[in-house]
Structure 1
Amino acid sequence: MEIIQNQYHTKETLYFALTRMFERASYYGFKTLIVLYMVGETLKMERSEALNIYGVFTASLVFSQILGAVLGDLVIGNRRSVILGAILQAIGTFCICIPLTTGLYLGLFLIALGCGFYTPNLISNFGKLYFNKTKLLDSGFTIFHLATNLGSFFGVLLIGYLGDKYGFNFGFILAGVLMLISLIPIVLSKERNFEKTENNRSGLNKRILIIVMAFTLVGLFWGFNDMSYIRNSDLQLQFKELSSSVFPDYFWQVGNSIFFLPISIIAIVLWNKFYSNHFFKIMLGFIFGAIAIGILLLIPEIPTEQHLMIFFISLLFFGIAEVHIAPVIYSILTKYSNPKYLAILIGLTYLPTALISFSFGLFNDKIYDNPILGLKIGIIGMAIIGIGLISFIWWNKKLPTTSA
């Protein structure tokens, strides 16, 4: 660990973070309403049909982000892709207001396509702000990730509440307006020609190895987390019923973010002053993830209100784990990639995560009957990777100083 000197965040960091916050508020607010809208009085779909459509929509995001990243890096440029993506998403949410299945399908298509243009290109341009101050990458991307969670937090609360109180169309229109507002910081920011002038002394093969490791680790982290999802969801539903008089229903939709927000602020402050190995942070993420899942084992099959604090402690540890994983992966890609193809690499990060989650999902039938098995697999998997990363860091002590 070393003290960071003469490296500072700029106002562009704030602009990009605000853009992401408004976009995520729009997107997650829309997601809160869409299934309820499909099964509601307007379209009157069967719940199974609505969930299938929603599943196809979310799966399509993996491929749309790869397409948007390729076009952004190689054809139309990253900044133009961000603007195009935001406009497409806004039009998509407005189209859903059309009380026909045609409006629904057109809206979902435009939102998926717009998200593909928007997300990898915005993250890419944000990372490029730090090409010549790479020791601030972890702090910068944690600011960005904090904005993402703030957006989802307020989007779910605001759009979910207003859509429920005043009608779905009101919620969708608000989501579209928020998407258009997200364009304002990007338009205000100056377009810059990003050049990577810091010398990275790592060889090509080593950089490829590090990037592949980053892809694999982020996929495994979320994959093992998914192994505990069935038990976690069951506990969440039970605690929701037990504490209905204490917490409103929408609290449980954003409960994870409540702990992530203060943890992120602490991490931003620390990582703004001190630099340490990316893989050391990821190692801590897996260890805290194993602890978070392990704590769930302390809760009996049928919990009482007395076990609610244990559940919150688990959420706290998972928040610590996430802040050591999600932002740091983007830091690694930014630091070790060719800047011409950074958006493409960021778009591709969703592919191994989806593949690993799908592979682990093949065992969901067994885990559904025995959710404790999923917890044990998650604990063992995260602990093994954490220990393996300790060995990797010990073997490669010079990794933190591979760039100036």
Structure 2
Amino acid sequence: MSKSASQSHPKGLYTLFATEFWERFSYYGMRGFFVLYLTATLAKGGFGLEKTEAYSIYGIFTALVYVTPIIGGILADKLIGQRKSIYVGALLMAIGQFIMAMSVTDMHDLFLTRQMALYLGLGLLITGNGFFKPNISTMVGGLYSANDPNKDNGFTIFYMGINLGAFVTNFVGGSLAENVGWQYGFMAAGFGMVVSTIWFFMRETSVVSGETGLPVGLPPKDDPHKKNKLEKKDWTSILAFVVGLTVFSYIIVHFLINVDADIINTVVGIIGIGGLGYLSLTIYQNTEGATQWSRVGVILALAIFNIVFWSGFEQAGTSFNTFANEYTDRNVMGFEIPASWFQSINAVFIIILAPLFTVIWGKLSDMKLNPRTPYKFAWSLVFLAIGFGIMAIANDTYTASNALISPIWLVMVYFFHTVGELCMSPIGLSMITKLSPPKIVSVMMGLWMGSIALGNFFAAQMTAISEYYEFDTFYFITVYALVAAALAFVVSPFLTKMMKGIH
């Protein structure tokens, strides 16, 4: 007789599920209309930027959102633990969203121009996400033992929390932003982070290992046998982190706005090289024996395919968003659907398909036919290519007729991309917690987020690259994804052996 869901999965999973729901409500709500906000005219409250410039800002933002988790993972592992990191991140992101709301109008009384408020808000969102993102995923992994057959399913359930938040938010934040005022969209996102913080605080004691019954995510030096939640001294350090990082971010933004771009690029390059060097050293010092090194090699190899996938998938916030806004017939019985609502289609399919995939992976495991992780990655790239092939045909259809096209085209694209995502993203998160050396699980999760960062950055550059070489963007990504898929299938047998017994 199979166990029920409540018996199979620790209660802490549902605490983290809801915490992530509200964080994703915040992030995807802002992301869904961000490019539209940047490209809206000054008269409509936007910044009046050209598409390529808006895409670039969006790409840098979404890339850095996945770079800072490397630092957040190191700080959690070495200094403050996952729980304190989640609180620091949540509070910083709440402040960041409210400051983004202030970017709609000049706030000279608070020493904030629109540009400063925009970049300060983005900076706090990036920093806060670095503390929050890797550590909540690591805590989900900590609820299960390394070879618990429910672990992949647990991450898939957790992934539904991400997408429930992404689904709801565009109907709330997107509608407020496009139809009432941009600032109200950002304020709704900020409210989401406040709720996320309160929920995690109320349910913190439920986050315990299903195997040992001990609390997960406490500061490294704390004894989990004597303590099951954060104490007053922990909250003192949390608030110190939040205040200090907010002030530091203000100083940095004020400096960057008044500094030559070449100097900024040089400083960023030095920081990037230094960070990569430190990350490499951390991995080297904490990886022991041939088995651990072999598994780390698998993580690094799969990170390359992860970059390829997200460089295509993240067109959702740029070229797909523009396509929905300008080339898609959004009128339904006299009501014009806000373009940001299309960002929820992916989330709808996740909600529908994630339980189905959970059943499929479980049935295949029972039959000993469940594909190993590298093969699932290869299939994800196949589905990505199919989606872009459909998008290329949709674009040709619009060009030939010069008339707005049916939204069904975008729905089909998002369907195939969602299937690819379910073969890639939750599987990747689970894989990191299985294959990483025990001492640096959060660091390796940060590294994984870093590969997504590169994917996001490349996604924003795809249009510029294809235009430079006079390629059609959608056909270009179709071929690019197919080539990567073929390579993934070729190397999968070797990567499977390198996993050393981990499925």
The answer to whether the aligner puts 1:155 opposite 2:169 as a matched pair is yes
Distance in 1 (CA, whole Å) between partners of 2:190 and 2:460 is 33
- Say yes or no: does 1:47 pair with 2:62: no
Contact 1:292 1:315 in 2 (8 A): yes
**1:70-117: per-residue Cα shift (whole Å, max 9, x none)?**
211111111100011111111222334545225444433322221111
Q: Letter of the 2:414 partner, please give it.
A: L
Question: In the alignment, what sits opposite 2:11?
Answer: 11
Deviation at 1:258, TM superposition (A): 2.9
Local SS of the residue matching 1:131: coil
Mapping for residues 134-145 of structure 1, pairs under 5 Å: 134-145=148-159
| CA 1:360–1:307: 2 relative to 1, 3 Å | closer
Bigger mean CA offset, 65-74 vs 255-264: 255-264
Q: In structure 2, what is the Cα distance between the partners aligned to 1:203 and 1:75?
A: 27
Map 1:359-378; keep pairs closer than 5 Å. Answer: 364-365=463-464, 367-368=466-467, 373-378=472-477
Match of 1:189 among 196, 201, 204: 204
8 Å contact kept, 1:218–1:325: yes
Instruction: Look up the SS of the partner of 1:135 in the other structure.
Output: coil
1:217 matches 2:316? no
CA distance in 2, matches of 1:33, 1:366: 24
Indicate yes or no: 2:354 matched with 1:264.
yes
Q: Quick one: structure 1 residues 132 and 180, their matched pair in 2 at CA, closer, same or farther if it must change by over 3 Å?
A: same
Distance 1:91 1:231, change over 3 A: closer
Larger Rg: 2
User: How far did 1:22 drift?
Assistant: 0.5
1:250-289 alignment, distance < 5 Å: 250-275=340-365, 276=370, 277-289=372-384
Corresponding letter in the other structure for 1:245:
V
Give yes or no for contact 2:327–2:405 (8 Å, CA) kept in 1. no
Q: Which residue of 1 aligns with 2:145?
A: 131
- 2:337 maps to amino acid: P
- 1:146 and 2:160 are equivalent in the alignment: yes
Could you list the per-position Cα deviations for residues 374-394 of structure 1 after superposition, in whole angstroms to 9, with x for gaps in the alignment? 444433333333333334444
2:22–2:193 CA contact under 8 A, matched in 1: yes
What CA deviation, in whole Å up to 9, does each residue of 1:169-202 have, x standing for no partner? 444333222212112442213251479xxxxx98
2:81 touches 2:217 (CA, 8 Å); kept in 1? no
Partner of 1:85: 89
State percent identity of aligned pairs: 25
Match of 2:387 in 1: 292
In the alignment, the residues of structure 2 paired with residue 76 and residue 271 of structure 1 have an alpha-carbon distance, to the nearest angstrom, of 35
In structure 2, relative to structure 1, the CA distance for the partners of 1:81 and 1:298 (3 Å cut) is same
Q: Decide whether aligned partners of structure 1 residues 338 and 299 sit closer, same or farther in structure 2, where only a CA change above 3 A counts.
A: same
Decide whether aligned partners of structure 1 residues 126 and 180 sit closer, same or farther in structure 2, where only a CA change above 3 A counts: same
> Secondary structure in 1 aligned to 2:397?
coil
Q: Give, as a single letter, the amino acid of the residue that structure 2 aligns with 1:162.
A: L
Check whether the contact 2:92–2:128 (CA below 8 A) recurs between aligned residues. Answer: yes
Task: Pick closer, same or farther for the CA change 1:158–1:8 going to 2, 3 Å.
Answer: same
1:388 is aligned, of 480, 487, 502, to 487
What is the alpha-carbon distance in structure 1 between the residues aligned to residue 406 and residue 182 of structure 2? 36
Q: Name 2:20's counterpart in structure 1.
A: 20
1:137 Cα deviation (Å)? 2.8
For residue 286 of structure 2, what is the aligned residue in structure 1?
none
Give the corresponding residue for 2:210: none
5+ long unaligned stretches in structure 1: 196-200
Q: State the alpha-carbon separation in 1 of the partners of residues 24 and 347 from structure 2.
A: 13
Shift of 1:153: 1.8
Tell whether the 8 Å contact from 2:354 to 2:422 is kept in structure 1 after alignment.
Answer: yes
| 1:115-172 per-position Cα deviation (integer Å, ceiling 9, x unaligned) | 1111111111112222344432322222222211221221121122234555444443
In structure 1, what is the equivalent of residue 76 of structure 2? 72
Partner residue in 2 for 1:112: 126
TM-score, normalised by the number of residues in structure 2: 0.67
Is the deviation greater in 129-138 or in 186-195? 186-195
Q: Using structure 1 for the length normalisation, give the TM-score.
A: 0.82
- Distance change >3 Å, CA 156–CA 339, structure 1 → 2: farther
1:329-367: per-residue Cα shift (whole Å, max 9, x none)? 111111000233222222222333444565676664452
What displacement does 1:54 show? 5.4
- Name the residue aligned to 1:205: 293
Deviation at 1:395, TM superposition (A): 5.2
Any unmatched runs of 5+ in structure 2? 108-112, 208-214, 219-288
8 Å Cα contact 2:8-2:150 kept in structure 1: yes
Distance 1:119 1:168, change over 3 A: same
Within 2, Cα distance between the matches of 1:212 and 1:342?
14
Alignment of 1:305-384 (within 5 A): 309-355=408-454, 358=457, 364-365=463-464, 367-368=466-467, 373-384=472-483
Counterpart contact for 1:16–1:186, Cα < 8 Å: yes
**Quick one: structure 1 residues 355 and 58, their matched pair in 2 at CA, closer, same or farther if it must change by over 3 Å?**
closer
The size of the alignment, in residue pairs, is 397
Aligned partners of 1:202 and 1:402 also within 8 Å: no
Take 1:174 and 1:232, find their aligned partners in 2: how far apart are those partners? Answer: 23
CA 139–202 in structure 1, closer or farther in 2 if over 3 Å, else same: farther
Of 36-45 and 350-359, the range deviating more from structure 2:
36-45
Summarize the Cα distance change of 1:370–1:238 in structure 2 as closer, same or farther, 3 Å threshold.
Answer: farther
C-alpha spacing 1:295/1:181, structure 2 compared with 1 (3 Å): same
> Take 2:393 and 2:448, find their aligned partners in 1: how far apart are those partners?
34
